[in-house]
Each structure stands twice: as C-alpha cells, then as structure tokens.
Structure 1
Amino acid sequence: MLYWLYQITTINIFQYITVRAGIAFFVSFLLTLYLVPKFIKWAKNKNASQPIYELAPKAHQEKCNTPTMGGIVFLTSTILATLLCAKLQNIYVIAGTLTIILFGLIGIKDDLSKIFGGTNQSGLSRRAKIILQTISAALIAFILFFGSSIGNELFVPFYKNPVIHMELFAIIFWILVMVSASNAVNLTDGLDGLATVPSIFSLLSLGVFVYIGGHAVLSSYLFLPKVSGSGEVVILAAALIGALTAFLWYNCYPAELFMGDSGSLSIGAFIAYMAIISKNELLLLLVGLVFVIETVSVILQIGSFKTRKKRIFHMAPIHHHFEIKGWAENKIIVRFWIIALMSNLLALMELKVR
C-alpha cells in the first residue's frame, strides 16, 4: 500500500526498502504489543494453556496454566504490516508470506490438538508433521525454482564463487533446509524466550544478506550473489522482527505467553527461506548455531540410546540437560542468547571475508 502511494503521489520516501522496512517494524511491534494482552485474556478464558511434557524438569510443571499459541498474534501482525508496506506483486514477498502462513497453519493444528487432547503427546504425530512440512516446503521450493531468478547455485561460506550448480536437486535441498530449520527452532522453544532472541538475531543477519543480494551495486562490490527483487523481503523480515520484539515483552522469563508450534515452526521455515533466497543455506549453520546445537543434542541422545542403551545428556534438548544440572532457567536462556549473538557476528564477517 505504501509503495502504491509512492507510485501515484510525489511521496518519494516510500520507494525505499529501508523506510518501508522501518515502518513495518513499528507497525507490527505496536500491533503485537496491543494484541497480546487481549489474546492472553481470551486464551485463559478458553483454557488454551500449554500441556507440559510429564518427563520435563519439575520447574516446568508450574507453567501448565500458561497460555500458548502466541504465534498466532505475532504472525498476524507480521502479515498485516507486510500488506501495508511491501510490494505485494513481488514473487519473493509472496513466497515468504506463503511460507509463514503454511507453516503457521501446521503449528496451529498441532497446538490445538495438544490443547484439546490435554497432553503434550496428543498433537500431530512426527510422521504427519514431517509430511505436512515437506509438502509446504516443496510448494515454496517449486515457486522459487520455476517462478523466480534465484538460480540453483550452491555457495559455501567465505568463498565468493559457487561450488556447484544443483539443477533440480536444488528443490530437494531447499525442502530439506526448510523442514530442518523449522523443526530446529521448534526444539529450541522450550524455555521462556529461548527461541525468540536467537530468531531475532538470525532474521537481522539474514536480512542484511538479503538486502545486499537484492542491491545491484552492493552485491557487486561485496561479491555476494545477486538476486534481483529479493531485497523486498527485508520488509517482511523487519515486520517479523518487530512482532517478535513485542512478543518478547510477554515471553521473557517468567513467560506470560508461549509462542507454541504455531510460532516456532513458522519462524524456522522463514529463517530458512531467507537463507535460501540469499544463497546462504550453509551459512545458516552458523547463523542458527543455537538451533543447530539443540537439534544435534537430540540426535546424539537418540542415537546413543538406540545403539548403546546409554544417554549422553541428562535430558535432550540440551537446555533441559542444564536445567537438571541445576542451572537457573534465566541463566541458561541468557547464555544461549550470548552464543546466538556471537555466532551471528561471526556470520556477518562473511560480508568482507570472501
């Protein structure tokens, strides 16, 4: 809408992505800040609370009455801010918005199943969730491969030239990246605010790469892959960052509202989407290092128990391991935030170290 105003008026300021991204940030921030208290009140009246896994550390049992599905609020704010500020005919904005909606719907279905079922295990089965995520990711991958100019080159971090042209295999690779990232953020969302801040850091870092990749002069100067038109997605990312920042006001320890799978699955998928369109699929391992650590801890725990009948950690994901060791919850959260900040600063070094 704002870009449309620029086209029919002399308000040239609305042509700039950075201006519209700033407006999108504050619109989604204020909208989320306004809507969350109303959603909390509604959720409490409807008993839409988070079922707690019975084997989780004892401190978590006290959170059984905390409302969940906060993802509905900040995803709604993100989409509304994007509709106001972005070029809606841009293929990358369309695909990015579709990513948020599709994975958000999967999360909503999972959250509702848990709430109505009354237990953490009554949500979607792992198989059903993976199938739905794969179908959603495949749709996005096909849109990008056949409907955009993204290309199928694979880049490795800190090296300016593509190492391989993936051809049709790019579709399978992008599906894997999106499903993996979606589940990684979901696994991390186990403590108050633990997934929120690393998600903001990841979106900020990838937003820089997406903006530069969509800018002809900057991408050429920094030897980054040029993807024409992709810079418009920065507006969508800024809207989500704004919404998450406002959500953190209520989600920080002790949380008044959980994001639920409706939020975490969508955030992870969109982070992966930004990595794909900026050609940073492999750099995502560093950008989302906290999510990688959490996921690897689960893989190692399951693998060790199945092969050796022994556990490596007291409990997985690894944040529960530190809880059982006696670390205070807020100490675990802040330390993981620090790791996320450091890893993203290292990732941003790739802008010049190429």
Structure 2
Amino acid sequence: MFYWFYRHLEINIFQYISIRAGIGFFIAFFLTLYVMPKFIAWAKSKKASQPIYDLAPQSHQQKAGTPTMGGLVFVSATIIATLLTAKLNNFYVALGLFTLAAFCFIGIKDDISKILHNKNSAGLSAKMKLILQFIVAIIIATALYWHGHTTTIHIPFYKYPLADFHIYAIVFWIIVMVAASNAVNVTDGLDGLATVPSVLAFFTLSAIVYITGHAIMSNYLLLPNIKLSGELTILGSAMSGSLIAFLWYNSHPAEVFMGDSGSLAIGGIMGYMAIVAKSEILLIIIGFIFVIETVSVILQVGSYKIRKKRVFLMAPIHHHFEQKGWKENKIIVRFWIISFMANLIALLSLKIR
C-alpha cells in the first residue's frame, strides 16, 4: 500500500526500504498488541490451552491452562504488515510470505492436534511433522534454485565464497530451514525464552539482507550482492515488531504461549532469510541459543542410547538449569544476554573480513 503511494501519488519517501520497514515494524507491533488480548480471551473461552508435558519440571504444572497458538496472531500481523508495505511483485518477499504461512500452518495442525484430539503435549507425531516440514522446505528450496538464487556458500570472517554447491544447494537449504524450524521449537520451553533471541535474530538478518540487496554497501563490505533481496528487510522488520508486542504478553509469567504455530514459523522464515542473505553458516552464531538448545537434546538422546547415561539433568538445556535450582527468570535473562552478544559478533563479522 505504501509503495503504491510512492508510485501513484509520488510521495517519494515511500520508495525507501528503510522507511517502509519501519512502518511495517510499527503496523505489526500495534496490530499484535491490539489483537492479542482479544485472542487470549477467546482462547480461554474455548479452553485452547497448552497441555503440559508430563516429564517437564514440576514448576511447569502451574502453567496449565495458559492459552497457546499465540503464534497465529503475530504471524498474521507480520503478513498483513508486509502486504501493506512491501513490493508484492518481489520474488523474495512473495516466497518469504509463503514460507511464513506454510510453516505456521504445520504448527497450527500440531497445536490443534494437541488441544482438540490428544489432550496432551504430543500433538502430531514427530515423523508426520518432519514430513510436512520437508515438503514445504523442498518447495521453497526448489523455487529459490529455479529463480537463479546463488548457490555459493559463505562462512563468517572470510570474504570469498567457500564453495559452490550448484544443484546440491537445494539439499543444503532444505536442511537449514528444517533445522532452524525445529531448533526454535525446542527452545520454546520457558516464558519469553525463544521470543527475544528471535527478535535479535530478525534484526540481524534484516540488516544483512538489506546490505546484500544494496550494490554499494555489499561491495564495500565484500558481501555477495543479491539483487532485489533487500525488500525482504520489510518482512524481517515486521516480524521483529510483532514479536516484541507478543513479548508483552509472553513475558514471565506468560499470559499466552506461541505454540508450534509460532515457533515453527519463526524458525522456518529465519532459515529462509539466512539462505537469501547467504548467511546459512552465520546463522549458527545468529541463532546461537537455538543451536545450543538443539545440541543439548542431541547429546542427551545420543548419550542415553549409546551409554545409558545422561549428559544433563534434563534436556533441553534450559530444563537442566531449572533442575539445578536456577529461577526461571534468571535462566531466561541470561540466555537473552548470550543471544545479544552472539548477534553482536555476527554483525561484527560483516566488517571483519
């Protein structure tokens, strides 16, 4: 809509991505802030609450009855804000909106399965969830490849492409999106724990995708120039705005959980933006909290299957610290601090090459 103002009413300010990204941020923020309390009231009336995992720490049982599927609100707000502020004929924006909606849809199916069918925390089977994620990721990765998106791989602190995967990049991109989606899902276990690292990640990815879409800035920083990808900054900015508003209600003690409809969508679009910005490897630093949470689960399961011994008191690792007696707020804030520092390092890597 705002780009329409520029093209038809000649309001020049709306040609700039940075201006429209800022407008998109605030539209998503205020829309989420306005709709979320109404959604919470509706969810409570329908008893759409998150079943608490039986093996979760005992303190989590008091969260029973908290509404879930808050992700449906902030994802919808992000999509609306992007539709109003971005160029909809831009390939990267259009595919980004599809990515967000598709992964959210998988999460909705899982959440509804938990709430209405199983009445427990199981939801969709792990196999079915993975199959759906892979199907969506295959569609997105194939679309990127046939559009001509560069298949080179870049690593932090090194100015030249490490390798060119050619058609095998499709496999790599699929793994990135599915891994990122599940990593955020694993992290979403404490109030606000996944929300702030996600906000920080989207700020960082939005900055990187803006730079890679800008010929002069990308050349100065020795980054690949991905033509027309800068418009994706608007989607990332809108995502940040909606998540900050969601945090208003998700901070401890949470009034609403994002559910898989939120966590899977966040991870999916995070992976997609990293692929577009050629920051697939850098995403390990950008989403460092999500990485250590996922690694803790892999180590725990692997160790128990091989040695019949646990590495942590409980996995994911945030539960380990709960078992050690750390208060929930202390765990959350400390993980936020780690995420903030990791994203600073990721941004510094753009210059130190």
Q: TM-score higher than 0.5 here?
A: yes
**2:215 is aligned with 1:181:** no
User: TM-score, normalized by length of structure 2?
Assistant: 0.99
The two structures, once aligned, show a CA RMSD in angstroms of 0.6
Distance 2:328 2:89 in 1: 44
How many angstroms apart in 2 are the aligned matches of 1:196 and 1:112? 21
Give the corresponding residue for 1:78. Answer: 78
Runs of 4+ in 1 over 6 A off after TM superposition: none
Counterparts of 2:62 and 2:115, CA distance in 1: 17
Structural mapping, 1:1-354, within 5 Å: 1-116=1-116, 117-121=118-122, 123-147=123-147, 149-354=148-353
SS of residue matched to 1:168: helix
Q: CA deviation at 1:142?
A: 1.0
For the Cα contact (< 8 Å) 2:2–2:14, is it kept in 1? Answer: yes
- The alpha-carbon deviation at position 2 of structure 1 amounts to 1.1
Assess if the C-alpha contact under 8 Å between 2:156 and 2:350 holds in 1: no
Q: Equivalent residue of 2:161, what SS?
A: coil
Aligned residues: percent identity?
61
Query: CA separation in 2, counterparts of 1:226 and 1:168?
Result: 20
Cα deviation code 1:166-208 (max 9, x no counterpart): 0110000000000000000000000000000000111111111
Deviation at 1:5, TM superposition (A): 1.6
Mapped partners of 1:67, 1:229: distance in 2: 39
Q: Provide, for residues 60-107 of structure 1, a one-character-per-residue CA deviation record: whole Å limited to 9, x for no partner.
A: 000011000000000010000001000000000011100100000000
CA offsets, 1:265-324, max 9 Å, x none? 000011111110010100111110000000000000000000010111111000001001
Distance in 2 (CA, whole Å) between partners of 1:207 and 1:23 is 14
How far, CA to CA, are the matches of 2:311 and 2:151 in structure 1?
Answer: 39
Partner Cα distance (1:5, 1:319) in 2: 47
CA distance in 1, matches of 2:232, 2:242: 15
Give the superposition deviation at 1:150: 2.2
Distance (Å, rounded) in 2 between the aligned partners of 1:240 and 1:155: 25
CA deviation profile, 1:92-139 (whole Å, cap 9, x unmatched):
001110010000000000000000111002x11111011100000111
**Secondary structure in 2 matching 1:300:** helix
When normalised by structure 1's length, the TM-score is 0.99
1:302-351 CA deviation, whole Å, 9 max, x = no partner?
00000010111111000001001100000000000000000000011111
Contact 2:3–2:86 (8 Å) recurs in 1? yes
Using the TM superposition, give the Cα deviation of residue 4 of structure 1 relative to its aligned residue in structure 2, in angstroms. 1.6
C-alpha displacement at 1:158, in angstroms? 0.8
Whether contact under 8 Å (2:192, 2:251) holds in the other structure is yes
CA distance in 1: counterparts of 2:281 and 2:299, whole angstroms: 21
Q: Which amino acid aligns with 1:226?
A: N
Give, in whole Å, the separation in 1 of the partners of 2:80 and 2:280: 28
* Residues paired across the two proteins, number: 352
Cα offset, 1:163, TM superposition:
1.4
SS of corresponding position for 1:316? coil
The whole-number CA distance in structure 2 between the counterparts of 1:137 and 1:308 is: 34
SS in 2 for 1:327: coil
**Alpha-carbon deviation of 1:40?**
0.3
